[in-house]
């Protein structure tokens, strides 16, 4: 069993062996509160009071052995639901209960409660209903065809990360500041004063709720201590009570209290709304190190004690499955992982100097021992970091389960500067979710949906017609058989891109307006800079920086598809466009020679071949320039990300064959990785190709590399991988991650899943149990090119 | 021209498309006439099962240099560099010398992998420009050397002694083949031989049969009945023997 101490062994075992389930406790409390109070107070106040109602009435949980306390619902692996966003149907709940992958068990009586109490109240009122009602027919057509996905359909806007503020102030301090802001409002000259007052009062209530949360836990721990027979545990329970007396009302005084503070905020933020990618601690090593150093000097903590506490926190993350989802929203993120992501290493955000400290190594050791899906642990690699640190991280990474992933500090900072942040704020920047960049604690950077670029090209090839939904959904830009040049084809593609991107953004405007109106998030507004100062909510542009991301999927497939047409049809004239269209329509059956030519004898992305890479850069820049810098409602600015989560599988499943030889239904490329099997010139050629796009003009890119264990074994292998990372980052690559498992092992695991319950692989910006993945995704990982150093 | 008979569908497309008419079906084996083939690759492109492959490519010094420089960042980060190997690279000493000079001017670390069976003048010319020699030593016993390689080892050993006088950085590379030289006596005689030579690092290269499929693709017989993979225990013992003499032993 994994675990540094007997305690964490037991806690981890419980976390990884408990079947996720659903609790209706939160949904029932929300419903009863809304039934009584909806319409009697302003929406922000209603939201704050309903959150406080949950905190005041919810069951508390302190497990045997626990040192850090707090769960989102009744216990480990129990997920609350959010009917104000999406009141799942009884059928949805039956599916969640019965499905083989990513299942959530539902208690027998809960179907009736959902049908009789929850659904009748929320029908037509939950934001999912409001959003779908508001969408234009062309949006619905494109959504059904798999042109894009919609993040806010079953979950709230999120991807927001903590900075250091609640290690320096408690929620009573925040409340005092908010009250001062309310007192300072000028109700004569400030025409928004009443609105601001409402928002600020809601934030103050959220602070009260957090203080209450700590008090309730302190009381509960004392109650348990009074009954406890084991004197050692009794003392621990009193110690927990003591910690909860301090946090979250006041700033933490000790290493343990700092961790407990983070965890209370995490639970608060993720139960206020079911926001995407949970909530993340950001540069945790930077924020915890002062507590560790101080306590070490005082002799009240040592490595072992700190390590045990960190492991307790890791287990807490793993106890929280991502909110239950169904349909397309499940397909775009088919995992229990909720993407809380911890940035270790990089720079000290205050000085800009090397940030590697004792807690950085403690975190690496914890990650290595725990080997848990959550939190997603990454390291930031700065030029200023010592090789020793990077090598220790590579040592863990090459064990094969995908953590840590590697992020480039200098490139992250440049991205943030390019997006208009100050250097001071950019230094607090990091990655969250999969690879998304943000200025932690001061930015609302919400992902809005994935964009299926290869599918938009497929629509172009069919003159606007979609074969998946059997419907004309795009513009009529001409039959490609009649195109006389590559430029003509490209022009038609650009028109279709413009058309669908406009549909997506128009939909986003409506959805964001609905969220700002119905689902303000006062607690989140307390912990993100700008909201308390401006009196505006996090969901209404209150943060210091507001960014909306659209995630671009399939650039590898797209590049190779265009290269195949340009090279074979127009340049070499090996066959005509009509031949190619026939071959694609036949899924290449009976067109083996055509497939051989496009698949094996055409320039491909990932080999440092400018013929293909120039096309990649053209597609990248075209899509980026159609999105980047556009305005969203409430003053936010659009940016792009190059990441797929699991959406490349879904997007591939709604498509016919592609001109690059990809067959119908097969997954697209993930992130900015080359097409499976196309990158035959080794890992350094891959990073050279990938670095030809300007990463610093995005909000994050994702590059997967797969190695066989033998190819990176030993001291030499360690050095080679370290050098590969350093080289890629020198070329301003954003992120790189590794899978290191023999193909034979994965094939065997497909045959005998029961023997491989422990097998964890890197998917795309996160790791998951191989057995949790659908077959198409398993196949996709097996087929990724295995690289080696020669 | 490499040809994989197992992959070949014997469709005849290659023969049909060959502009030189160099390919013919002989008893269901697509035979390429090396006299006629100009390596244009047309047959490779249009071979659906991928049974044909042109091995090797002609480069100018300029082209090799351009290819190498693409990985410059990686060499800098890894303290790596370029190894010239073969066949025997020093057969092409003019090309090798020019390439080494150019690489040195670019500040890239170079190594030359040689079997030593080459006029000393070639080694001398390379020695002026390369940072490192990887020098093969297969057998100390001259009779056996003749038996397995077809040539005497006298020149090789002489060249090694002379090279060590003019170049300070030589690593020995010793293939260890069961049935040929995987014997304690061979290691002992090697140690005796190296005593007078300034060598610090020795690489043990256990025999493997990876080239077997390549021989088949070339349509050549693979003489492996005498050669076997040595045991791990033996390799470990050899490693210890060499390490005791103060050598830095790698591989095995």
For residue A677, what is the domain's CATH number?
3.20.70.20
What burial class does residue B20 get, using C-beta atoms within 10 Å of its C-beta: 0-12 exposed, 13-18 middle, 19+ buried?
A: middle
Distance from CA of B81 to the nearest CA of A (A): 12
Distance from CA of A596 to the nearest CA of B (A): 5
Chain A, 573-592: which have a CB under 8 Å from a chain B CB? 592
Q: What is the mean pLDDT of residues A615-639?
A: 98
Q: What is the pLDDT of residues A369-414, one digit of tens each?
A: 999 999 988 999 999 999 999 999 999 999 988 899 999 999 999 9
Chain A, 215-234: which have a CB under 8 Å from a chain B CB? none
Q: What is the pLDDT of residues A142-187, one digit of tens each?
A: 999 999 999 998 999 988 999 999 999 999 999 999 999 999 999 9
- The CA–CA distances, whole Å, from A464 to A488, A493, A627, A667 equal 15, 10, 21, 22
CB contact under 8 A, A596 and B48: yes
In-domain check, residue A238: no
Q: Among residues of chain A, what percentage have pLDDT more than 90?
A: 86
Give the DSSP per-residue string, A402-436. --SEEEEHHHHHHHHHHTT--HHHHTTEEEETTTE
Structural domain count of chain A: 1
In-domain check, residue A34: no
Q: What ipTM was estimated for this complex?
A: 0.82
**Residue A713 confidence class, pLDDT cut points 50, 70, 90:** confident
For A527-532, the CB contacts below 8 A with 24+ separation are A527/A162, A527/A165, A527/A166, A527/A265, A527/A269, A527/A441, A528/A160, A528/A441, A528/A442, A528/A443, A528/A444, A529/A163, A529/A165, A529/A441, A529/A442, A530/A442, A531/A199, A531/A203, A532/A174, A532/A177, A532/A178, A532/A181, A532/A200, A532/A203
- Whats the size of chain B, residue-wise? 252
- The confidence score (pLDDT) of residue B223 equals 65
Q: What is the pLDDT of residues A218-243, one digit of tens each?
A: 999 999 999 999 999 999 999 999 99
Q: What is the pLDDT of residues A23-79, one digit of tens each?
A: 999 999 999 999 999 999 999 999 999 999 999 999 999 999 999 999 999 999 999
Between A193 and A646, the more confident residue is A193
In-domain check, residue A630: yes
Q: Dmax over Cα atoms in chain A, in whole Å?
A: 85
Q: Which residues of B touch A688 (CB under 8 A)?
A: 70
- The confidence score (pLDDT) of residue B80 equals 87
Neighbours of B60 (CB within 10 A): 11
Interface check B70 vs A, CB under 8 A: yes
Q: Which site among A593, A608, A710, A789 would you substitute to test the B interface, given the most B Cβ atoms closer than 10 Å to its Cβ?
A: A593
In-domain check, residue A656: yes
- The confidence score (pLDDT) of residue B215 equals 77
- For each of the domains in chain B, give its residue range(s) and CATH number, in order of start: 2-53 (3.30.70.20), 61-251 (3.20.20.70)
Q: What is the mean pLDDT of residues A248-276?
A: 97
In-domain check, residue A188: no
- The confidence score (pLDDT) of residue A309 equals 98
The encoded tokens of residue B197 equal 């030579």
- The confidence score (pLDDT) of residue B214 equals 75
Instruction: Compute the count of residue pairs across chains A and B with CB atoms less than 8 Å apart.
Output: 37
- The confidence score (pLDDT) of residue A645 equals 87
The encoded tokens of residue A503 equal 């549909």
Radius of gyration of chain B (CA): 22
- The confidence score (pLDDT) of residue B222 equals 74
Domain range for A621 is: 127-153+442-702
In-domain check, residue A489: yes
CA distance A338 to A327: 17
What average pLDDT is seen over chain A? 95
The yes-or-no verdict on residue A122 having pLDDT over 70 is yes
* In the block, residue with structure tokens 């609905």: A514
Q: What is the pLDDT along chain B (252 residues), one digit of tens a residue?
A: 889 888 899 999 999 999 999 999 998 889 999 899 999 999 999 999 999 988 888 899 999 999 999 988 898 888 889 999 988 999 999 999 999 999 999 999 999 999 999 999 999 999 999 999 999 999 999 999 998 889 999 999 999 999 999 999 999 999 999 989 999 999 999 999 998 888 999 999 988 877 777 777 777 777 666 788 899 899 999 999 999 999 999 875
A49-53, A345-349, A426-430, B4-8: least confidently modelled range: B4-8
Interface check A697 vs B, CB under 8 A: no
CA distance A283 to A428: 8
- The CA–CA distances, whole Å, from A250 to A173, A181, A219, A266, A352 equal 7, 20, 17, 16, 28
- The confidence score (pLDDT) of residue A325 equals 87
CB contact under 8 A, A601 and B45: yes
Contact yes or no for A643/A766 (Cβ under 8 A): no
Among all residues of A, which ones are annotated catalytic?
Answer: 434, 436
Backbone angles phi, psi at A448, to 5 degrees: -115, -20
In-domain check, residue A518: yes
- The confidence score (pLDDT) of residue B212 equals 73
**Residue A698 confidence class, pLDDT cut points 50, 70, 90:** very high
Distance from CA of B234 to the nearest CA of A (A): 21
pTM for the model stands at 0.91
DSSP 8-state class, residue B32: E
- The confidence score (pLDDT) of residue A10 equals 98
């Amino acid at each position: 069993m994994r675990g540094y101490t007997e305690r964490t062994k037991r806690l981890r075992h419980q976390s990884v062996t408990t079947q996720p389930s659903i609790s209706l406790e939160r949904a029932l409390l929300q419903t009863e509160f809304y039934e009584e109070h909806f319409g009697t107070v302003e929406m922000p106040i209603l939201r704050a009071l309903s959150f406080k109602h949950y905190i005041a009435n919810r069951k508390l949980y302190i497990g045997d052995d626990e040192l850090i306390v707090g769960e989102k619902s009744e216990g480990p692996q129990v997920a609350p639901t959010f009917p104000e966003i999406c009141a799942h149907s009884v059928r949805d709940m039956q599916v969640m209960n019965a499905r083989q992958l990513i299942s959530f068990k539902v208690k027998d009586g809960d179907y009736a409660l959902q049908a009789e109490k929850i659904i009748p109240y929320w029908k037509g009122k939950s934001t999912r209903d409001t959003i779908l009602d508001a969408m234009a027919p062309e949006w619905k057509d494109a959504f059904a065809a798999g042109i894009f996905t919609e993040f806010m359909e079953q979950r709230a806007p999120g991807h927001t990360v903590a900075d250091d503020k609640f290690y320096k102030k408690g929620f009573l301090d925040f409340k005092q500041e908010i009250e001062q802001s309310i007192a300072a409002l000028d109700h004569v000259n400030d025409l928004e004063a009443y609105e601001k007052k409402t928002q600020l009062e809601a934030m103050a209530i959220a602070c009260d709720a957090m203080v209450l949360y700590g008090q309730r836990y302190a009381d509960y721990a004392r109650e348990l201590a009074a009954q406890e027979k084991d004197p050692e545990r009794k003392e621990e329970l009193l110690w927990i009570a003591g910690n909860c007396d301090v946090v979250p009302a006041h700033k933490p005084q000790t290493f343990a209290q700092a961790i407990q503070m983070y965890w209370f905020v995490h639970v608060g933020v993720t139960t206020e709304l079911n926001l995407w990618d949970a909530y993340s601690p950001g540069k945790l090593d930077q924020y915890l190190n002062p507590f560790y150093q101080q306590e070490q000097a005082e002799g009240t903590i040592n490595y072992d004690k700190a390590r045990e506490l960190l492991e307790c926190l890791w287990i807490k993350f793993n106890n929280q499955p991502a909110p239950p989802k169904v349909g397309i929203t499940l397909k775009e993120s088919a995992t229990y992982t909720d993407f809380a992501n911890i940035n270790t290493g990089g720079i000290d955000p205050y000085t800009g100097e090397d940030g590697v400290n004792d807690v950085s190594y403690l975190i690496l050791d914890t990650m290595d021992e725990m080997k848990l899906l959550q939190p997603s642990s990454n390291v930031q690699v700065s030029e200023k970091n010592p090789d020793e640190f990077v090598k220790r991280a590579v040592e863990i990474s090459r064990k094969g389960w995908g953590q840590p992933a590697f992020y480039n500090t200098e490139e992250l900072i440049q991205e943030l500067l390019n997006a208009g942040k100050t250097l001071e704020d950019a230094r607090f920047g990091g990655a969250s979710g999969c690879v998304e960049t943000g200025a932690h604690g001061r930015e609302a950077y919400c992902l809005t949906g994935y964009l299926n670029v290869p599918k938009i090209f497929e629509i172009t090839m069919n003159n606007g017609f979609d074969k998946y939904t059997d419907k004309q959904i795009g513009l009529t830009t001409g039959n490609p058989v009649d195109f006389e040049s590559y430029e003509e084809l490209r022009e038609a593609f650009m028109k279709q891109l413009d058309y669908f991107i406009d549909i997506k953004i128009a939909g986003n405007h409506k959805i964001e307006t609905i969220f700002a109106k119905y689902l303000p998030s006062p607690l989140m507004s307390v912990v993100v800079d700008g909201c308390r100062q401006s009196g505006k909510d996090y969901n209404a542009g209150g943060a210091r920086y507001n960014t909306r991301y659209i995630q671009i999927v399939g650039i590898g497939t797209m590049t190779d598809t265009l290269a195949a047409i340009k090279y074979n049809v127009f340049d070499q004239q090996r066959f005509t466009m009509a031949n190619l269209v026939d071959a694609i329509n036949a899924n290449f059956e009976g067109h083996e020679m055509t497939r051989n030519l496009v698949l094996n004898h055409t320039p491909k992305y990932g080999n440092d071949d400018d013929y293909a890479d120039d096309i990649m850069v053209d597609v990248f820049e075209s899509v980026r320039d159609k999105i980047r810098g556009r305005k969203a409602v409430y003053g936010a600015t659009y940016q792009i990300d190059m990441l797929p989560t699991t959406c490349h599988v879904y997007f591939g499943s709604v498509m016919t064959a592609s001109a690059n030889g990809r067959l119908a239904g097969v997954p697209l490329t993930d992130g900015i990785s080359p097409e499976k099997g196309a990158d035959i010139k080794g890992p350094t050629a891959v990073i050279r190709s990938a670095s030809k796009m300007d990463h610093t003009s995005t909000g994050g890119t994702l590059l997967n590399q797969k190695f066989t264990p033998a190819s990176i074994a030993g001291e030499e292998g360690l050095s080679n991988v370290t050098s590969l990372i350093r080289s890629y980052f020198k070329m301003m690559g954003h992120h790189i991650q590794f899978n290191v498992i023999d193909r034979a092992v994965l094939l065997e695991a497909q045959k005998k899943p029961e023997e491989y319950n422990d097998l964890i692989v890197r998917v795309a910006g996160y790791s998951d149990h191989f057995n949790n993945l659908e077959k198409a995704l398993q196949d996709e990982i097996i087929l990724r090119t295995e690289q080696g150093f020669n | 021209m490499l040809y994989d008979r197992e992959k070949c569908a014997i469709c005849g497309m290659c023969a049909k498309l060959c502009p030189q008419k160099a390919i013919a079906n002989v008893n269901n084996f697509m035979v390429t006439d090396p006299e006629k083939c100009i390596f244009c690759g047309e047959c490779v492109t249009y071979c659906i099962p991928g049974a044909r492959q042109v091995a090797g490519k002609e480069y100018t010094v300029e082209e090799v240099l351009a290819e190498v420089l693409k990985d410059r960042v990686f060499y800098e980060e890894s303290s790596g560099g370029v190894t010239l190997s073969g066949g025997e690279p020093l057969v092409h000493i003019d090309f090798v010398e020019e390439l080494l000079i150019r690489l040195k001017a670019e500040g890239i670390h170079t190594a030359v992998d040689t079997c030593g069976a080459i006029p000393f003048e070639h080694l001398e010319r390379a020695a002026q420009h390369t940072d490192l020699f990887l020098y093969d030593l297969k057998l100390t016993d001259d009779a056996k050397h003749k038996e397995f390689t077809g040539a005497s080892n006298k020149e090789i050993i002489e060249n090694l002694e002379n090279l060590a006088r003019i170049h300070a950085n030589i690593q020995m590379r010793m293939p260890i083949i069961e049935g040929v030289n995987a014997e304690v006596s061979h290691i002992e005689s090697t140690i005796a031989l190296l005593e007078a030579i300034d060598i610090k690092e020795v690489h043990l290269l256990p025999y493997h049969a990876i080239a077997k499929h390549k021989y088949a693709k070339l349509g050549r017989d693979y003489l492996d009945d005498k050669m076997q993979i040595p045991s791990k225990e033996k390799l470990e013992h050899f490693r210890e023997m060499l390490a005791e003499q103060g050598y830095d032993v790698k591989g095995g």
